[in-house]
Structure 1
Amino acid sequence: MNTTRRVDRARSFTARCIAVAAVLALVASICLIQLANLQLLGKNTAIAATQGRTTKVAVNAKRGRILDANGTVLAQSVERYNIVVDPQLATEFKPTDCTSKTKNYCQQIDGKPVGATGAAGVARLLASVLEGTSAMELGGRISEANNRYLVIAKDVTPEVKRKVDALGLGGIVYGELTNERVYSGGTMLGPILGGVDAEGTGVAGLEQILDKKLTGTDGYEVYQRGNGGSEMIPGTLTDSQDAVNGSDVTLTIDSNVDWYVKKALTDGVKEHDAEWALGVVYDLKTGGVLALEDTDQYEAGSSDAKLNASRVVSETFDPGSIGKVFTMSGELQEGIHKATDKFTVPDTITVDGQSYKDASNHAAKNWTYAGILKNSSNVGMIMAATNYSDEKRYEYLKKFGIGEESGLGLSGESPGLLYSWRNWDLRTRNTVLFGQGYTMNALQITRAIATIANKGVMPSMKIIDTVTDANGHTTAVPSGDATRVVDESVAKDVLNAMESVSDLYSRIVSVPGYRIAAKSGTAEVAGADGRLTSIVSDWVGIIPADNPRFVVTVVMKDAKVNALGGLSAGPVFAKIGEFLMQKYNVSPSPARTDAIPVEW
């Protein structure tokens, strides 16, 4: 009996021990599982948190500058910021009242409590420093946003960004560095410089033409942000690449000259009650264009500057009597005439049933060919062209660049219009001799006359001088090829005859101390009604004539006071010429002693 009980107690004890061991094993297993879960899940959570804080932030490259020949900045990108709100964090915002303990991180508006929480509170604070911002409208935008990134202000200044930072909204509101394109000259060179779009890409003018050179390469940084904000947690930068700024481009333009040209043109339009005027200054010494302006008032970077081409390149017109220079050059080159050949020139002539007349009535005049050019006789040019074939007339117009772009590559340039000689009618074949029946722009006129100033060689024109990359390496932009059009002796005689033209206008078009070789032009052109109801007055001059340095072209449309080119565009040329002589300290001209006779 006792033995049986002892056996039962032993069995019972053993069972209890087994049960306890099983419970302990179960508890241990649960603990181990929980520990494993905590370790694994905790690690995953930590990884997830780190990943959530880690971001790749673009480091914007700065767009290169556009500078004038003196280093004056014409276009540049300046430091600006986009103000960004995290709408999710904004809805959780609770302002901290300002006390002696919280004064370094509290929020208030003009010394008073914010008076609202969430998006409304954030909006109130932001509206207090963002001028022109409605707190109510901004609060609505933040509340309705369904993402964590909302730009509420673009291109604010560093000063405004500092005011935003001082609101104590770190993690909710932050500034992203961006750039704004600014132009120093206002309306000077407006359409020539053009502008950029909202992303900073060149879309017009030189900004578009030079976009690849001006555009840099953005960099990046990979780091962890604190509390959803923009500030980097120290020591968390894991990867980065520096931004490479765009190259700077230096132009041949002298902004001082360009400014003066625009002023002279604007004053000339007022004085002569004209519709518009335009001008070009070309430097034979450097091959660069120093100025190209018109009287339009489009500010660089504006919508107008992006949508409109400069009149200097887009406006084409019959050059009028300036075209006589090309005719005389061709005939002298072909040996048909010399500048001293003698003609008796009436004021009217009829050829192939077509009648032509000079600008003023006169008795028959005994003029040399140089005299025909000086007196700008249409009749004389037709008389001299008896043995000058239509094919040759066309050939030399082409050689002087008519019907071709100037080579500057500017946006909106029109090549003008020159029909093949095979398509000329009986009248056009003669009007082309004195600058009618084809069209040019002011740049083309300048380059063509520069051929005479350059001893018969048509020079290449350039407006881009050098490119300097982000490392400071400067590369000169090569000029195009120069082309001989006429012999040096021909160019010398034509230049001489053009100086006689200038002598004719010396009372109203002169630069004291300097000789000028020039040609004026006046041509009827199509008006708004499509008929020949408008007048273009132009003047192109070489100064100094004895040692050519500058070629200056001035064109005026519908001058109601003194419509003739020599009386309207000429005086504007004189003002520009005098400025150039003083600015560049050009040596005065010696007295003229080699004039080709103009009468016999």
Structure 2
Amino acid sequence: MRRPNPRSFARAHGLDGFVTRCLAVGIVLALIAMACLGQLACVQLLEGRATAQAATNARTSKVVQRANRGRITDTNGTVLAQSVERYNIIGVPDAATSFTPVACGSKQAESLGYCHEVDGKPVGATGAAAVARLLAPVLDMDAMELGAELNGTGQYVVIKKDVTPQVKRQIDKLGLYGIVYGELSSERVYAEHTLLGALLGGVGDDGEGAAGLEKSLNGTLKGTDGYTVYQQGNGGEVIPGTVTESKAATDGKDVALTIDADVDWYVKKVLTEGVSSSHAQWGIACVEDTQTGEIIALEDSDQIKAGTDAAKLNASRAVSQTFEPGSIGKVPALAAILQNGAHKITDKFTVPYEYTKNGQKFHDAVEHGNEHWTLAGILQNSSNVGMVMAAQNVTSQQRYDMLTKFGIGQSTGLDLPGESNGTLGTPESWDGRTKDTVLFGQGYAVNALQLTRAVSVIANGGVNRRQSIVKSVTDADGHVTDMVHNEATRVIDENVAAEIRNAMESVAEEYKNTAGVDGYRVAAKTGTAEVAGANGQLTSIIADFSGIIPADNPRYVVTVVMLDPDGMYGGTTSGKLFAQIGEFLMQKYEVPNSSPRTDAIPVDW
């Protein structure tokens, strides 16, 4: 069959070339129109839901609602650490580069309700440079550097962290909607100066506790973030009625410490001045309420402010520093002698300056002839020789058991970051000399908390009470949980503790001119121990003093430790600082004056 010829067809029907071309164009346009209609139908009918969902997703934002970190306060509610409202200022480079300032006085400014000026003059630029000129003065930043940060692509760049709400409100008034906004944050602030610096520690950039109490209490303090899911307009504002999901933030709990900030501040002052005046390398002090086991003050002479890098990198010396206690170690040793029935406190001894036992020589700190001392007198005169003689019938195991019952070499249970348990070898590890040097505080090491706890056993009538540094925890609803530990274990008989306290009071009377507190009886023990210096040899001195005040009605145990003070001996160096702290405690807490002492156990014969 013969194919039809279009030209023949056109001639046969009277159609010229122009008409033919018009028909061809019309057919093409019709085909295009049909394709567009088909695509429109496909979008509207088949892909409409997906397209709408994509648009919704583009407008949907999930904003995290930050939980407030709980406060740390002292026992009276004085704030030691708290989080304050701050904002991270965020820029959107994509929007900044296309920014055109709104000229003041223009119809656009009139319709928008805002305009852009710098010091009453036109901005004089567009894009990121214009944004920077408007924003830099508010943030106290260099406009050129800020412009460089915003001149690029992307939806998120942190311009400045931790600005105050006042600054954020100034930024809100600049009319940079959708270009610059504030993201709610917080800043951790601490008590002024160096109060409890390394003990409080600090918080990292992620908001987690990084050191000190901030770290050990992080689970209690940090809370749980919430969130809100909503659709936002071009300026970042919430579109009414579009919130689809939300979860409220749960703020962290407040923690009240047993620390009394007033006492701690004074202890810090006394330590700082004492270390300076005596040219010591460092000092530590601890104050414990004997009736509850609460730590009232815990300080060292280091000048570290909480929240700083130094606080995050260094544990508090007050909990990490260990040392041989020296003659304060005679207190648990005397308890072992009396509790095991080896001697009575009134037993009489003739004590030489030097004594040899099993080939080992022992001598006292000060040369003397043969002295007639009771066991109470041996403690008063701090005789190493007398302790070795009196403990002849006390086994190594009995000596070790008493040390552990007094908390030597044992955890305090406070779980403080960097806290050391000290060192205490077992009887099997003691050589022929160490088994006797432990009788006068050598051959093992303690920290200030442990030494204070040991002396508190005597103050508590022979009971070892667990120490506390956290008083209570309060949740966001105001519910208070008491956290003071109530555990207590009797380790020696009450009458044995009373006899040792009596002997310790005789010790304190020897130092009443340097370590006495007017109107109050004190029971104490001093210590002086040789320790390794910078050269690794025994060239340094630990001088410590731990006392019970008042002795007749124990309320507090105060321990002071210094390394290498002028004067060397604990009673005349650290004892002076004890007296200042003790006097402050008696005045602050209005403790009644002591009754006269009438029951002193004879110290010589």
**What's the TM-score once normalised by structure 1's chain length?**
0.92
- Aligned residue in 1 for 2:327: 321
**CA–CA separation in structure 1 for the residues paired with 2:49 and 2:425:** 81
- The CA deviation at 1:200 is 0.5
The question of whether the paired residues in 1 share the 8 Å contact of 2:456 and 2:557 is answered with yes
- Aligned residue in 2 for 1:294: 300
- Aligned residue in 1 for 2:423: 417
**CA–CA separation in structure 1 for the residues paired with 2:37 and 2:428:** 101
1:60-90 C-alpha deviation (Å, 9 max, x unpaired): 1111111110011111111000111111111
- Between 457-466 and 469-478, report the one with greater CA deviation: 469-478
Match of 1:529 among 525, 535, 555: 535
1:508-547 C-alpha deviation (Å, 9 max, x unpaired): 1111111100000000001111111111100000001001
- Aligned residue in 1 for 2:371: 365
Q: Which runs of 5+ in 1 are unaligned?
A: 1-11, 13-18
The question of whether the paired residues in 2 share the 8 Å contact of 1:542 and 1:551 is answered with yes
Q: Which amino acid aligns with 1:153?
A: K
**CA–CA separation in structure 1 for the residues paired with 2:177 and 2:193:** 38
- Aligned residue in 1 for 2:4: none
- The CA deviation at 1:590 is 0.3
- Aligned residue in 2 for 1:305: 311
* TM-aligned CA distance change 1:31 to 1:356, over 3 Å: closer
1:555-589 C-alpha deviation (Å, 9 max, x unpaired): 00110x21110011001011101111111111111
Match of 1:142 among 150, 156, 163: 150
Match of 1:226 among 233, 241, 246: 233
- Aligned: 1:63 with 2:72: no
**CA–CA separation in structure 2 for the residues paired with 1:208 and 1:265:** 26
1:18-52 C-alpha deviation (Å, 9 max, x unpaired): x9xx99x9999789758746755777655433321
Q: Which amino acid aligns with 2:418?
A: G
Q: Which amino acid aligns with 1:593?
A: T
1:358-386 C-alpha deviation (Å, 9 max, x unpaired): 11122221111101101111111111112
SS of the residue 1:240 aligns to: strand
SS of the residue 1:508 aligns to: helix
* TM-aligned CA distance change 1:449 to 1:32, over 3 Å: same
**CA–CA separation in structure 2 for the residues paired with 1:28 and 1:55:** 39
The question of whether the paired residues in 1 share the 8 Å contact of 2:117 and 2:134 is answered with yes
Match of 2:347 among 341, 345, 353: 341
The question of whether the paired residues in 2 share the 8 Å contact of 1:109 and 1:128 is answered with no
Q: Which amino acid aligns with 2:162?
A: D
- Aligned residue in 1 for 2:16: none
* TM-aligned CA distance change 1:226 to 1:342, over 3 Å: same
Q: Which amino acid aligns with 2:481?
A: T
Match of 2:172 among 151, 161, 165: 165
**CA–CA separation in structure 2 for the residues paired with 1:231 and 1:598:** 84
- Aligned residue in 2 for 1:589: 594
**What's the TM-score once normalised by structure 2's chain length?**
0.91
**CA–CA separation in structure 1 for the residues paired with 2:36 and 2:338:** 111
- Aligned residue in 2 for 1:481: 487
* TM-aligned CA distance change 1:411 to 1:44, over 3 Å: closer
After the TM superposition, which residues 35-184 of structure 1 pair with which residues of structure 2 at under 5 Å, given as runs?
Answer: 36=41, 39-40=44-45, 46-99=52-105, 102=109, 104-131=113-140, 133-144=141-152, 146-184=153-191
**CA–CA separation in structure 2 for the residues paired with 1:64 and 1:526:** 42
Percent identity over the alignment is 60
* TM-aligned CA distance change 1:344 to 1:121, over 3 Å: same
Match of 1:350 among 351, 356, 375: 356
* TM-aligned CA distance change 1:357 to 1:30, over 3 Å: closer
- Aligned residue in 2 for 1:577: 582
Please report the RMSD computed on the Cα atoms of aligned residues, expressed in angstroms: 2.1
The question of whether the paired residues in 2 share the 8 Å contact of 1:278 and 1:295 is answered with yes
The question of whether the paired residues in 2 share the 8 Å contact of 1:381 and 1:433 is answered with yes
* TM-aligned CA distance change 1:230 to 1:596, over 3 Å: farther
**CA–CA separation in structure 2 for the residues paired with 1:217 and 1:489:** 52
Q: Which runs of 5+ in 2 are unaligned?
A: 1-12, 14-22
Q: Which amino acid aligns with 1:377?
A: S
**CA–CA separation in structure 2 for the residues paired with 1:308 and 1:96:** 53
The question of whether the paired residues in 2 share the 8 Å contact of 1:502 and 1:517 is answered with yes
Q: Which amino acid aligns with 1:85?
A: G
Q: Which amino acid aligns with 2:150?
A: I
**CA–CA separation in structure 2 for the residues paired with 1:459 and 1:35:** 83
- The CA deviation at 1:285 is 2.4
After the TM superposition, which residues 458-477 of structure 1 pair with which residues of structure 2 at under 5 Å, given as runs?
Answer: 458-477=464-483
After the TM superposition, which residues 378-527 of structure 1 pair with which residues of structure 2 at under 5 Å, given as runs?
Answer: 378-479=384-485, 481-527=487-533
Q: Which amino acid aligns with 2:570?
A: G
